[in-house]
Structure 1
Amino acid sequence: MITCVVDYVIDPDKIADFEEFGRRWMQLVNQHGGTHHGYFLPAEGASDRALALFSFPSLAAYEDYRSLFGQDPDFVEADRIRDESGCVLRYDRTFMRPLMP
């Protein structure tokens, strides 16, 4: 299993747009073979940071999912929410593997 951790810098005035963006991506990940663990939004402290965590059974499965970016209309629409609202200022992806008990 591989887990993608996405660290976002967001516009704190556009949290509602970011939540809409996040709901769409949670659906897409789950529909295309992954498990979305959720988005984690500001509660206290820095108000411009958010995280998302989702897993795929393998890097190859993640790459299959990524091949739909810019092609599948549902993926294009989800990106449009982000792009048109400007809710995401920057993001970085890190791939991790879990250490389980």
Structure 2
Amino acid sequence: MVTCYLRYVIDPHKLEAFEAYGKLWIRLVEKFGGKHHGYFMPSEGVSNVALAMFSFPSLAAYEDYRKRSFADPECQAAFAMNEKERFIISYERSFFRPVFEDDQGVKRAP
């Protein structure tokens, strides 16, 4: 499993637009076989950073999602939202391997 971590720098005056965008992507990621863990909006402290995390069974599955999303009309509409509203200033994408506890309480090996 691979988890994609996105850190967004957003326009703090356009939080509602970014939140609507995030809600769209939760469903869209899951449409393509991913598990979305949510968007995290600014609360206390910094007012222009938001986070998102979602997982796919493998990096290959993530890459397939990315390829298919560029051809999907719903994804294109979501991309267009930001092109029109410009609520995302920049973002960075990183990938992580999650560690979970199994049923016996033993951590999984890498």
TM-score tier, shorter chain, comes to over 0.9
Q: Larger relative CO (CA 8 A, sep 6+): 1 or 2?
A: 1
Counterpart amino acid of residue 9 in structure 1: V
Is 1:61 equivalent to 2:23 in the alignment?
no
Return the alpha-carbon distance in structure 2 between the equivalents of residues 33 and 69 of structure 1.
12
Counterpart amino acid of residue 30 in structure 1: E
Report Cα offsets for 1:33-70 as digits up to 9, x if no partner. 00000000000000000000000011111011000233
TM-score (norm 2): 0.89
Tell me what 2:46 maps to: 46
Tell me what 1:84 maps to: 84
Tell me what 1:22 maps to: 22
TM-score (norm 1): 0.96
SS in 1 for 2:8: strand
Structure having the higher Rg:
2
Deviation at 1:100, TM superposition (A): 1.6
Deviation at 1:93, TM superposition (A): 0.2
Percent identity for Structure 1 against Structure 2: 50
Q: Is the CA contact 1:68–1:75 (under 8 Å) kept in the aligned structure 2?
A: no
Regions of 4+ moved over 2 Å: none
Q: Is the CA contact 1:20–1:81 (under 8 Å) kept in the aligned structure 2?
A: no
Q: Is the CA contact 1:4–1:93 (under 8 Å) kept in the aligned structure 2?
A: yes
Q: Superposition RMSD on alpha carbons, in Å? A: 0.8
